[in-house]
Each structure stands twice: as C-alpha cells, then as structure tokens.
Chain A
C-alpha cells in the first residue's frame, strides 16, 4: 500500500464519475427519443450536479450530513475496489462479498441520512429500498455462490479473466444462461430501474429517500447515484460478460449494457414493492436454483 495506490484510487473514482455521468446524460437523450422528445444536452447531468453543489442548502442535524458523507464515502471506496479491465488500485481487495458488503455501507449511510431528515416520505422510501434489496439480492447471491463453487475463487478480477480469451462463448452469460438472465434482472433491481423503482417513485412518495435533499447534499446524492450505477453495472459486466481485455472494450461493453437496461426501463410500468418481492422469489430465484443445481450436481457450464 503506497501513495501511488491512493492516487490510482482517486483517479478511479474520478474516472468512474465522469464516464458514468456522461453516459447518464447520453441515456437521457435515448429515453427522450423513446418518448419522441429531443432530450437535454449530453452534458446536462454534469450541469445539474454542479449546480446543486453551488446552491445554498439546509441541514436537519448532524446525522443528516454525516449519513450523506458516510454514504458517498462508502460508495467511493467501493469504486476503488472494482477491477476495471484487469486494473485495480488495490490488488487483492476485489472479493465479491467485500464489494457487495462495502456497498451496503453506502446504502446504510444514505438510509440513515434520509431517515435523519425526519420526513416520513423518506422513511417510506427507505423501507421500500431495503425490501427491494432483499428481493433482488437473494437470486443474485445464489448465482454468485454457484460461480464461486464452479471456479473456486471469490475474486471478481479472476472470475472476469477466466472468461476472456475464448471469444464471446467464454462469457458466463452464455455458459450459465439461466444465471446470466437472473443477474441481468437483478441488475434492474440494483439500479432501481423500472419495473423495480417503487422506492424512488417521484409522483407517489415524493422521490422517497431523496425528498428532503437540496443544495450540496442533493449534489452528493446525484454523485452517489452515478457511482453506485458504475459499481453495479461493472459487477455484472465482470461476472457475466467477461469484463474487458482493454479499457476501450470494457467501456463499450459497459455502455451497451447500461443503455440496454435504460431502454428496457423506458417501456416498463412499475411494480408495487410486494409485487417485486413476489416476482423475484418466483421467477429469478427459481431460475437461479435450477442453474445452481445443474452446475453443482450435473457439472454444467465447465
């Protein structure tokens, strides 16, 4: 652990932010085209974030601020753990469980900050967000367990590099198609894309956890959302789509995957939260179990 590691880590956070925020901007245009609008400029998302940073803001007490810092800090740390095209700021810290649990620090911080604002809408949003998490994470975890069993490693970068070098059919998405489908569905839940976006439902519960934020705290929440998207898409990309041999390939694959979720989300209605739970425990969990049993007892996918 030298100073260089930390500098790389800082650059990783910055790069992830710039890349994902641009992509979000482009995808705002894509969504607009789906709805027969022209859409904002591609760099509109940057403008929104920096405008929020510069505005005056309010605070509801120390936990409101501390939670926001803890959330964004935790998410920034998670970005540093993510291997991108074989590159890592801190080699050896990319265990899948470490990543998914450090991510939870950020989520807990956000939930804490939101509930600390004293607004009941925020608490309802948090309650839905946590329920949503319980729904999508279980099928995804079953698939992850299967992957670890199959390859005998829990390191994300190793799992990604195993898939490389044999072309598109080496990807886990094609070797374990059921697991691949489950994880892409879970990605929709993770990203809060429709049909699993009831926890931020703007017209219904006034944006849920985000309701009280303004000024710099809102800017931090926007940034957090971009970084979290980067982590989640990268995780699925590394586990099921072979990561990337080079940075360019990684970014192209990433852009395609993210745009895909965005387009599908654009034409979806919204599940109620209990419907989302029932759905995840019926279809994706069933598929994930079938996949797991096929791999463990029949040796499929080797």
Chain B
C-alpha cells in the first residue's frame, strides 16, 4: 500500500514536470496515474487488516476504507478524462495537474489512516490542495469561503485528535476512540469536535455555504471531484465518529427518540434540514452547476442520516448512497462541463435544445438524474429505498418526511437542466456545435454504465456493505442472488428492470406498428395564434418554477448572519492589530520588550 502512495507521489511530480513542458501531456498523465491507483487499490480487496508504516505515517487496510477509496478513485479517474481539454483555460495548468493528484493522495491516505495524526495530515493535504484548485476557477472569494469553513473543520479535528491522544494515551484510531466508552463526558466533547469536521465537509446545513460557491465556481473539471469525491471525506469522518467511536454507548443514558439518542437525533435533524434546504435552493437556481451543487447538499443529508442510523437498512442505504451519488453527480457535472466546453456557459436560460447537437451527453445526463432522483432502475433508487425502509421501520416520521420531500423535490430540480439546457428550442447561435470529444464521452459513458449496473445488480455493492456491517456487529443486509431482503420488505432489481424492459418493449412494438410520423421543425408548434419567429423567445428556461419559488423567496437565509459575523471578526482583528502595528516605531519596541519580559518571567518559573 505504501507503494501506491509512493507511486502517486512520484507521478504528481512527474505530471508537474510534464505539464511544464506540455500541459496536455501532463493532463493525460493524470488519467493514467489515477487508473493505476484505481487498479492497485482494487487489488488490495483481499488484504484487509494489513498495516504498513511510512516514516511517521501509519496505514491500515480496512473494508470501509477500501470502499471509500474505490469511490474516490472512480470519480478521480473519470473526471481526469476532462482535464486535457481545460488546460488552456487554467492559469497554472502544471499546478492544477499535480494538485489534482495530490488531493487524491490525501483522500486515499485519509481512508487508510491507522492513527489519528496520519488522519489529520491526510485531511489537511486534501483540503489544501483542493482549495488551491478551486482558486483557479471563476471566483477567488469561493476559495476563501471554502478555506474558512474547511479551517473550522480542520481546527475541530485537530482539537479532537489531540484531546483523544492525550486522554487515551494511544493514537491508533480504533483503540483511541473506543477508550471513550469509559469516559462519556470527554467522549461527548470529542464526538462533537469530530462530527463538526464531518458536517462542514459534507456541507450539512448550516455549514453548507461553501459548497455551492466552491462547486459552482471551481474549474469545470474539478466540480465533479468536489461533489462526487471530496464531500465523501466528511462522510468518512461521520462514519468514524458514529461507528468506530462508540457514539450509541456514550450517549446511552441520554433521552431517546424511537431508540435514537437525542444528540444523534439532533444531527439527523440537521441532515433532514439539509435535505429540505438543499432541495428548495436547488429549485431556485439559474445556473446548472450551482443547482447540482445544492443537490449535493441535499444528498449529503441522506448520507448523514443513513450513516448515523447504524442499523440494517438505512446504514446500508447511506453507504450505498455514497457510491450512487458519487457516480451520478460526477456524471451530471461532467455532462454540464461538456456542454459548457461547447457553448461557453452554464446558465440555463442561455441554453436550450442542445439535445439536437449533443445526444450522447443528453443521455448521460438523463441517466445521471434518474439515479439522482432515486427512480428505478438506476442505483439511486436502491439506496433511497433502503433509507426509506429503515426510517419507517423505526418510526422516525419527521426524518422520513424530509427524505420524501427531498426525493420528490429532486424531480423538480433535476428536470430543470434537462428541460432548459437540453430540451426546448435550439438557439441559432448553437446551430453548429458538435457532440463532445470522444475522450470526454468515454468517461461519461463509464459513469453511466456504472449507474445502470448499480441499479440492476445492487447486490454487487451491498455484499461489501454487509461485510462492513458484520465487522461493526450490526445486523447485515441480506443479499440472496439478485434479491435484496430487509426486515420489512424486499426488492429484486433485476426483475424490476426486466419488467420495465418488457413494458417498454410492448409499447415500442405498438409505436412501430402505428402509422409513421412526419418530422416537423421545433418552431412548428402551437402558439395560440401568435407569430413568433425567434427561437429564444419560445424557450421556457427562466424562473421555471416561479409560482412555487414565490412561496419561499422571502424566507430568511443564514448568509447575512455569516456576513455579519465575518465583519465583526475582521473588526476585532483590526482592533487587535492596531495595538501592535503602528507607524510609530516606539510602539513596536514597547511590545518587543513586553513580550521579552513575559517570556523571561514565564521561563523562570
């Protein structure tokens, strides 16, 4: 395993050197490097439990770490196909390519970390490298916000790491965290600090502010990695703090709601709030990338709720949703990136009718949103189904309602880009654009095939998840051939898919038998006796859900609160600064003397 890190470390240097000479070459190299990483991590699947050290860093292969790493590598590998085509749009292409691989090293290291210090170092590596990439996008402010919110997460992780190491006397993750079964009060503190880091990274309400900004304005090739990949780091921290850290024992004495301790239930409510908030905001967006970013906020809520449940169904659903969302969201972001490459915009009201020029990209986006909205026969359905079954089995009706709201609300927002970008009238200025480059199409088709495969044969993944559940000592999800069985329901996705195919076939035959239709132009439509000759005027792409949006457009936002906080903070900084930095040099000398005295007195004791 150390070899993988050394290899990726060397390849990031090599990609830097190559990119200095020829940026595109370096970008192609990121594809090869991430593919090599993917294959070599896949080969580790049978060596669970192996530990390795690399100077001060200690790593261990675990099933869950392997699962997370595979998700991340899939996203990195497929997004890398887009890198070569964005080299001329970046200010520092060489830095982009090497940071791309550096953030990959950081995240994989995080999932395989055996001790807390390694965990923290890898976390920081991933955060910093991705922050520097976000900065190369449309907005510097986005990178700043991303950095500040990530810093909150980093600081609280560092606090938790140091406190845990101090109290338990060990830095090995499992040993250190299980120590808290005997010290619930300190445990609650550590749990709070750890989960805070998780929440900021997943983008759970009210820490979501960075996510739409960063995802919306990062370079088009990196948004899929941010949304499909890096957000999952937070999910891993959430997993550590509820499954490895004995959260249910530590809070065993607290008030319980349907069997869930109150602090954990509170976190689930935050997850539910993210689902509702993300959905409502996504419906409002006019920019396709920001819309998808808000949908990541909503999906993060599902993942958090699922992982916190720690049961047979919802936990499996949460872990599977990680993969489904990673694949679907990466595909959707890539499809939008492919459109942006050809048209130069991601604003939905400026696009339209792209399907007539980019049919494959359209199909990729369609399959991705079917999965994202949780409609069979795609992967997203299975994971949402498991979460629904788990929540209704426990009678957590409020959370279940939020989950249903997010699920049905997602039809609304995912249909927005489908309708405004791909369907509708084709503007004359896009008359001559072409389908995306074959290299990009390959990457998108890989993700599409995965979405479909996960939907038809979910047991391929649920088997691994069942293994994780057995390791944690919870009742595992039962897989029997192609059927998935739970305590209160079962589903056989292969059969569902077959029946769906059968229905489709019946209607296809009916359609073929009936008289053939005559092809007419898009402008040849019923317009209530108006004469309209401008396609743009016949395209309904702006304020798609206006009547619904009006119902909540005046709702308060957390953003003004954060703005006021940051203003006060910077004033405080200026106030403190005014003591030390002054045009008069005497002031500086005074402080040097004061500090020196304090040090001397302090040292004397």
> CB within 8 Å of B: which residues of A?
1, 6, 9-10, 13, 53-63, 65, 68-70, 72-78, 80-81, 90, 92-93, 95, 97-98, 101-102, 104-105, 107-108, 111-112, 115-121, 123-124, 126-128, 130-131, 133-134, 137-138, 141-142, 144-146, 148-149, 152-155, 206, 211-212, 215-217, 219-220, 272-274, 277-278, 289, 292-293, 296
* A119 touching B525, Cβ below 8 Å: yes
Chain B nearest Cβ from A228, distance in angstroms: 13
> Of B366, B496, B498, B506, which contacts A98 at CB under 8 A?
B496
B423 and A116 contacting across the interface, CB-CB below 8 Å = yes
Residue B220 at the chain A interface, CB threshold 8 Å: no
Q: Contact check, A118 vs B353: say whether CB atoms are below 8 A apart.
A: yes
With A98-B385, A105-B500, A121-B526 known as contacts, the answer to whether A134 contacts B408 (CB < 8 A) is yes
Besides A80-B503, A92-B492, 17 more A-B contacts (Cβ < 8 Å) are A53-B514, A61-B356, A63-B362, A69-B504, A72-B507, A112-B366, A116-B424, A118-B522, A134-B548, A141-B401, A153-B489, A206-B528, A211-B526, A216-B514, A216-B515, A274-B548, A277-B548
Would you give the shortest CB distance from B157 to chain A, in whole angstroms? Answer: 36
Identify the B interface with A (CB < 8 A): 258, 353, 355-356, 359, 362, 366, 370, 373-376, 381, 385, 388-389, 391-395, 397, 400-401, 404-405, 408-409, 411-412, 415, 418-419, 423-425, 487-492, 495-496, 498-500, 502-508, 510-511, 514-515, 517-520, 522-528, 538-540, 544-545, 547-548, 550-551
Give the distance to chain B from A218, nearest Cβ to Cβ, in Å: 11
What residues of A have a CB within 8 angstroms of the CB of B538 in the complex?
A: 118-120
A-B contact pairs, 29 of them (CB 8 A): A58-B518, A60-B520, A65-B511, A73-B503, A74-B500, A74-B503, A93-B491, A97-B385, A97-B489, A101-B385, A104-B373, A107-B411, A108-B411, A112-B423, A120-B538, A123-B540, A127-B544, A128-B547, A131-B545, A131-B547, A133-B411, A138-B404, A145-B400, A211-B526, A212-B526, A220-B510, A289-B401, A292-B397, A293-B397
- A134–B412 CB distance below 8 A: yes
A62 to B579, CA, bound (A): 71
Residues A273 and B487 in contact, CB atoms below 8 Å apart? no
Determine whether the beta carbon of A76 is less than 8 Å from that of B503.
yes
User: Smallest distance from the beta carbon of B588 to chain A beta carbons, Å?
Assistant: 62
Contact A118 B550 (CB under 8 A): no
For A6, the chain B residues whose CB sits under 8 A away are 502
- The reply to whether A145 and B397 contact each other, CB–CB distance below 8 Å, is yes
Query: Given A118-B353, A206-B528, are A57 and B515 also a contact pair (CB < 8 Å)?
Result: yes
A contacts with B: majority SS: helix
Q: Is the CB of A56 within 8 A of B507?
A: no
The residues of B that contact A148 with a CB separation of less than 8 Å are 389, 392-393, 488-489
Cross-interface CB contact of A95 among B391, B405, B491, cutoff 8 Å? B491
Q: A57-B517, A77-B502, A216-B514 are in contact. Are A278 and B551 (CB under 8 A)?
A: yes
CB contacts (< 8 Å) of A112 on chain B: these are 366, 418, 423
A152 touches B492 (CB 8 A): no
The contact of A138 among B393, B408, B519, B522, by CB within 8 Å, is B408
**In the complex with contacts A118-B424, A131-B548, A292-B397, A69-B507 CB distance below 8 A:** yes
Asked if residues B522 and A77 are in contact (CB atoms below 8 Å), the reply is no
**Chain A residues whose C-beta falls within 8 Å of the C-beta of B389 in the assembled complex:** 97, 148, 154
Q: Which residues in B have their C-beta under 8 angstroms from that of A134?
A: 405, 408-409, 411-412, 548
Report if A74-B504 is in contact (Cβ < 8 Å); known contacts: A118-B538, A216-B515.
Answer: yes
